Structure 1
Amino acid sequence: MASWWRAFPQAARRYPWPTNVLLYAGLFSAGDALQQRLRGGPADWRQTRRVATLAVTFHGNFNYVWLRLLERALPGRAPRTVLAKVLCDQTVGGPIALSAFYVGMSVLQGKDDIFLDLKQKFWNTYKSGLMYWPFVQLTNFSLVPVHWRTAYTGLCAFLWATFLCFSQQSGDGTLQSIFIFLRRKEASDKSPEK
């Protein structure tokens, strides 16, 4: 086991693309599994497989290329450069990734109107993301080495995917919807059984 942990950073440097994409996809998919667990009921592995498919085919790759592109366009870790990267990420990268998630999941779920979730939930979800992602990316661009940035984003996307998958399946894209759900769940867990 210890040799695996030593080999892993070497693999990330030698094969950064597949290492980062697979880590990202695994963490993003785990976020879906967690939200299913929090909601209760049986696990829907087909849904998790859809999330994993989208994470491997689009999100992991997009993030890898996007973060590298930002680093090439705005190299370095100077405060102004980092803030410019965060601004670009939130105004260009974030909306693309969010749109791809809602449309991609609708396609994989075979929905008739693949843009319905996007139309109904995009702005709420985007605004919710603005309370989380700028801080994540500020840390990412200022502290994390380039070859680990997608994996770090994937680690942070674990929490985001938990929220995002909940929103896609039963929320409205607002943080309030998940807090209401969790309060109801807590209340139902505390109520005595008859």
Structure 2
Amino acid sequence: MRFFVNACFWNAPILSIWIKRLERVKGPSNYAIWKRLALDQLLFAPIFTGTIVFNLRLLEGNGIKSAYKRLCRDYTDIMTNFYKLWPVVQLINYSFVPLNYRVVFIQAVALLWNVYLSFATQISMVQTR
């Protein structure tokens, strides 16, 4: 349920705005794709992923301090795995998927990513008990 709430009220609205903003990046086709990818993966993704994990901790019933402490503890491992998947996904997304389907494509892949996040956050929760 927490993933559903997070996706509906946080992820999808922010991603919709972000994907539209990235479309403003102009230039030769390949240059624009790589620039979008760099902006997405180096500026947006680290912050956005952190907010997702933080929100999930809050939705578990953790307080703000506890959610932040757990985010700090888990962030490096999550981002290491993030960069194994998402740059390739986003390269495909920006290269081949029409603008109006990009968030849908991201959310489809996010189903798999959310399985990992659920596992990663639950394992760390069990280890802290």
Is 1:114 the counterpart of 2:67? The answer is: yes
Where do residues 12-161 of structure 1 align in structure 2 (5 Å cutoff)?
49-72=1-24, 74-75=25-26, 78-112=29-63, 113-161=66-114
Q: Is the 2:3–2:114 Cα contact (8 Å) retained in structure 1? A: no
Note if contact 1:77-1:142 (Cα within 8 Å) is conserved in structure 2: no
Q: Would you tell me which structure has more helix in proportion to its own residues?
A: 2
Distance 1:139 1:119 in 2: 30
Give 3-state SS (helix, strand or coil) of 1:115's partner: helix
2:41 aligned partner, one-letter code:
Q
CA radius of gyration, larger in:
1
Work out the percentage of aligned pairs sharing the same amino acid.
24
Superposition RMSD on alpha carbons, in Å? Answer: 1.6
Q: Runs (4+) of structure 1 moved beyond 3 Å? A: none
1:164 offset after TM fit, Å?
1.2
Displacement of 1:96 in angstroms is: 2.1
Aligned length: 123
What are the ranges of 5 or more consecutive residues in structure 2 without an aligned counterpart?
none
**8 Å CA contact retained: 2:50, 2:71:** yes
Does the 8 Å contact 1:103/1:118 carry over to 2? yes
By how many angstroms is 1:114 displaced?
Answer: 1.6
- Residues 110 and 171 of structure 1, relative CA distance in 2, 3 Å threshold: closer
Q: Flag structure 1 segments of 5+ consecutive residues without an equivalent.
A: 1-48, 173-194
Residue equivalent to 2:119: 166
Following the alignment from structure 1 to structure 2, what is the Cα–Cα distance between the partners of residues 104 and 156? Answer: 20
